[in-house]
Chain A
Amino acid sequence: MRLRLLAGIGLLVLALSGVRGTFGQDVNPLAGDVRAVRAGGALFRAQCATCHGADGRGIESIDAPDLRLMWARDGVDDEYVFTTIRDGVPGSIMPPHGLPETELWMLVAFLASQVEAAANAEYDGDAVNGRELFAANCAECHRAGAGGGGVLGPSLNGVTRRRAPEALTQSIREPSRQIARGFGPVTVSGADGETVTGVLKNEDAFSLQLVTEEQELRAFRRGGLRRMQRLEESLMPAFPETDLSAGELADLLAYLHENQ
């Protein structure tokens, strides 16, 4: 197995002899190369997975970020990722990696492949209609585009660069199936009988930080609470086909795709 992998790398290096001295270039010479993605995956598991998780989704308790999300950030491109892996992040736990350039590009190719489903998707709905649908159904809690919106749910700016259409569809049709980090719904009851529902932004052994359904920032001392309950159901209502047709869904996604 290892021999085959090494042989594969050897072939790649031969194929790449034309791209020697790739330092400073901003496009991955191995972009989309299936063999490079596979080799990059092996490198990732050996060099990166301990902190970033075997699936690249990060490990919250050690502050290792979800690498699938980075591509949606402004200024993040192949060269940025290449440089970050090579040089590390100074002053952080992320070390430099003295790997050969070809292997660094393999890692970039692998990381790009993790979000390819989102990057290559096409959205052919009517964005103008989608904008109206968004204003009517989503903007109370979500933000997208210049129009702004509510703060109870996550920002949807650039969401089509982070998530594939199938995943977005599921989140709209069945929002409780997978609730985004930092948006877990809770209900707390104070000693004075007040009951507040919201999403839990942060917590420790002594306090809770919520955004309430009324979209206010409220903090509570645990000691002052009668009850704190984590809810299974998302605060977002489900949109089955009877409420949002397949065509309307496509329009909505097209609008979101316009708002990168």
Chain B
Amino acid sequence: MRHVFFLFCCLLPPASLFAQQDGPAYEDILRGFDDPERWLTYSGDYSGRRHSPLTQITPENVGELRPIWTFQTGTTTRGRGFEATPLVDDGVLYVTGSNNYAWAIDARSGRAFWSYRRDLPDDLTYGASAPVNRGFGMLGNQLFMVTLDAHLLSMDRRTGDILWDVQLADYRIGYAATLAPLIIDDKVIVGISGGEYPTRGFIDAYAPVTGERLWRFNTIPGPGEPGSETWPDDPEVLARGGGGTWMNGSYDPELNLIYWGVGNPNPDYFGDSRPGDNLYSNSIVALDAERGDLRWHYQFTPHDINDWDSNHVPVLVDAEWRGEPRKLVMMANRNGFFYVLDRTDGELLLGEPFTGTTWAREIGSDGRPVILNDGSQGCLPDPWGSTNFMPPSYHPELELFYVTARETCATYVPEEPAYTPGQASFGGVVFIEPDGTGALRALDIHTGELRWEFTYPSPTFGGVMTTASGLVFAGDHEGNFIAFDAATGENLWHYQTGSRIWGAAATTFMLDGRQHVLIPSGTTLTAFALPE
């Protein structure tokens, strides 16, 4: 070993020495779960399915699963803590926490190699609604992380040192950033938070090495641009139209399209100042990865007045659809519907309700929801929606889509807000009944029908992961990390983590021949494995 090092250090310049130790290349991320010891991007691969091929932990032995270590941030964030998916490479976890802390952690012991904390400005605005972060992107020895003051950073993954730092937008207006950057080939793709403030959303691509911006797609069109006809003819309204892009997108390398959810129009609840459908709010957009051009879009909730952002992980699946092989994208939406679209052109193939909402029960032939209850016929799903950004999962053999559902009851009272930079402009208030419930639901992707469910005593924000051995791992608002039989819904195991599992989902990887499962919860990260 020493000889090898000696050889390199003498024959090659230092830059090449680093190249010998490089981390994952784009081709490695492209191969997704091929290397069982790695988890290289937010959902494990570009498809957003969060479905691991690992099979050591099975429905038969999951009852033996036990914690092997916990990592605590040492910070005091209440209510919402870890929402990140740790990335895993070569026995090291790379994970971000609340308030823009970050760590590299030994996956065997749970001990940190380094920690990082961003020095955030005193006059920070809360465009992110909560001081959270959803994880790193990784390419080579570079990590990429967005910040609450709306910057994109690149770090050296060996030290946590900052390599470059670019501003995405001005936090003082209400912009912030929380998502895990999507790394494709030679681009770092990020979105922005701030839809509760008078802001205008976008999706950006940056060059990994230099941080140079390569393209920007604005989610709210400019005056005269396509889509602007769905807004009032008023540049000021467009400039503060909202449409945040605060949750990760997915990527189809063959079509070279990225798929991204877009958030609510602003003001959230007061729609009278923005008559029209308000594109591309509450839509999924398919962008050409090379240039950021819009290829197609589908709007789930035209003219939203309930803050039902569509910031969900798009789930990409190739499957037989009505007898033909098709490329699909699926999304369970805050508005209470489960959707299947053709991801080549955005054609709507299925839209069925997955909660008891009375807002609408069908999607019309024009692709728009048939609204039965605008709120005057009783309560609507609350502003956190029928599900939210917590990752769903898809099991390809069972053809089931697993989603955390929320059954809530809210009354919206709109009121025109003031539009002040740096101040939230919700445009009204919401009364939420205190007795909502939650459930993990398994949906048949061909019909949207409920195959099984497991109910929780309160509306829940936990994400979902599945494994090829036929397991579903989910988390609840009371802090339980839970395993189910993917086919039947039978509850096989649970562990009380001590804090809400909020927005986070499990990851799994092999290390020293043992399958590890990780779950973030509160300010703690817990690793599980079967007994040795």
Q: Does B153 contact A (CB under 8 A)?
A: no
| B75 close to A54 (CB less than 8 A) | no
Rounded to whole Å, the gap between the CB of B272 and the closest CB of chain A is: 13
Does A95 contact B480, Cβ atoms closer than 8 Å?
no
Judge whether B44 is part of the interface by a CB distance below 8 angstroms. no
- Residues 82-125 of B at the A interface (beta carbon under 8 Å): 99, 122-125
Which chain A residues border B436 with CB–CB below 8 Å? Answer: 61
Checking A54, A96, A205 against B478 with a beta-carbon cut-off of 8 angstroms, the contacting residue is: A205
Q: Does A240 contact B (CB under 8 A)?
A: no
Q: Is the CB of B79 within 8 A of A63?
A: yes
* B511 in contact (CB, < 8 A): no
Residues on A with C-beta less than 8 A from B430 are: 49-50, 54
CA distance A47 to B422 in the complex (A): 11
Query: Contact between A93 and B131 (Cβ–Cβ < 8 Å)?
Result: yes
Residues of chain A with a CB closer than 8 A to B383's CB: 50
Q: Are A205 and B77 in contact (CB under 8 A)?
A: no
- Assuming the A-B contacts A45-B415, A46-B417, A204-B457, are A98 and B422 also in contact, with contact meaning beta carbons closer than 8 angstroms in the complex? yes
Q: How many residues of B contact A (CB 8 A)?
A: 47
Q: A33: CB under 8 A from chain B?
A: no
Chain B CB within 8 A of A132 CB: no
Check A54–B79 contact: CB distance below 8 A.
Answer: no
- Chain A residues contacting B459 (CB-CB under 8 Å) are 61
Q: Residues of B contacting A2 with CB < 8 Å?
A: 416, 418
- The closest CB in chain B to the CB of A204 belongs to B478
From B122, B130, B423, B431, give the contact of A54 (CB < 8 A).
B431
Most B CB contacts (10 A, CB to CB) among A50, A60, A98, A206 go to A50
A241, CB-defined interface residue at 8 Å: no
Q: Does A92 contact B418, Cβ atoms closer than 8 Å?
A: no
Q: Which residues of B contact A54 (CB under 8 A)?
A: 413, 429-431
Smallest beta-carbon distance A100→chain B, Å: 11
The 8 Å CB contact of A92, one of B79, B124, B432, B494, is B79
User: Is B356 positioned at the interface, with any CB of A under 8 Å from its CB?
Assistant: no
Name which of B75, B122, B422, B434 has the most chain A CB atoms within 10 A of its CB.
B434
Contact between chains at A45 and B418 (CB < 8 Å) = no
Q: List, in ascending order, chain A residues with CB within 8 A of B131's CB.
A: 93, 95
Chain B residues whose C-beta falls within 8 Å of the C-beta of A46 in the assembled complex = 417-418, 423-426
A93, B494: Cα distance in complex, Å: 28
Determine the residue in chain B with the shortest Cβ distance to A90. B76
Chain B 397-421 near chain A by CB (<8 Å), digits 1 or 0: 0000000000000000101111000
Across the interface, B77 reaches (CB within 8 A) one of A49, A55, A62, A92, namely A92
Interface range on chain A: under 10, 10 to 19, 20 to 34, or 35 or more? 20 to 34
Tell me if B479 is interfacial: C-beta within 8 Å of chain A. Answer: yes
Q: Which residue of B lies closest to A64 (CB)?
A: B79
A91 within 8 A of B: yes
Is the pair B480, A203 in contact by a Cβ cutoff of 8 Å? no
- In Å, the complex CA distance between A206 and B494 comes to 9
Residue in contact with B79 in the complex, picked from A55, A62, A96, CB distance below 8 Å:
A62
Chain A nearest CB from B461 CB (Å) reads 9
Which residues from chain A contact B76 at a C-beta distance below 8 Å?
90-92
Shortest A207–chain B CB gap in Å is 8
Q: Which residues of A1-59 have CB atoms within 8 Å of chain B's CB atoms?
A: 1-2, 45-47, 49-50, 53-55, 59
Q: How far is the CB of B19 from chain A (nearest CB, A)?
A: 41
Distance from B491 Cβ to chain A, minimum over Cβ atoms (Å): 8
With A and B bound together, what is the CA distance between A96 and B122 in angstroms? 9
- Write the nearest CB–CB distance from B432 to chain A, whole angstroms: 6
Q: Measured between alpha carbons, how far is A132 from B190 in the docked complex, in Å?
A: 68
How far is A204 from B462 in the complex, measured between Cα atoms in Å?
14
Mark B430-464 against chain A: 1 for CB-CB distance below 8 A, else 0.
11101010000000000000000011111100000
Cβ of B335 to closest chain A Cβ, rounded Å: 19
CB distance from B363 to the nearest CB of A (A): 29
Does B309 count as interface, using CB distance less than 8 angstroms? no
A204-B476 contact in complex given A2-B416, A2-B418, A91-B77, C-beta closer than 8 Å:
yes
Of all chain B residues, the one with the shortest Cβ separation from A6 is B418
Return the chain B residue nearest A47 by Cβ.
B424
Across the interface, do B480 and A205 meet the contact criterion of CB distance under 8 Å? yes
| Interface: B80 (CB within 8 A) | yes
Distance of A91 Cα from B522 Cα, bound (Å): 12
Of A49, A60, A90, A205, the residue contacting B455 (CB under 8 A) is A205
Q: Is B62 an interface residue (CB 8 A)?
A: no
* Chain B hits for A47, CB < 8 A: 423-424
In the complex the two chains form, what is the Cα distance from A204 to B497 in whole Å? 12
Contacts A46-B424, A61-B477, A206-B494 known; A95 to B77 CB distance under 8 Å? no
Q: Given known contacts A45-B429, A46-B424, is B78 in contact with A93 (CB within 8 Å)?
A: yes
In the complex, residue of chain A having the shortest beta-carbon distance to the beta carbon of B431: A54
With the chains together, A63 CA to B418 CA distance in Å? 27
The reply to whether the CB of B235 lies closer than 8 angstroms to some CB of chain A is no
A53 — which chain B residues lie within 8 A by C-beta?
A: 431-432
A residues within 8 Å of B by Cβ?
1-2, 45-47, 49-50, 53-55, 59-63, 90-93, 95-96, 98-99, 203-206
Q: What 5 new A-B contacts, CB under 8 Å, besides A50-B383, A93-B79, A204-B456?
A: A46-B417, A46-B423, A53-B432, A91-B76, A92-B76
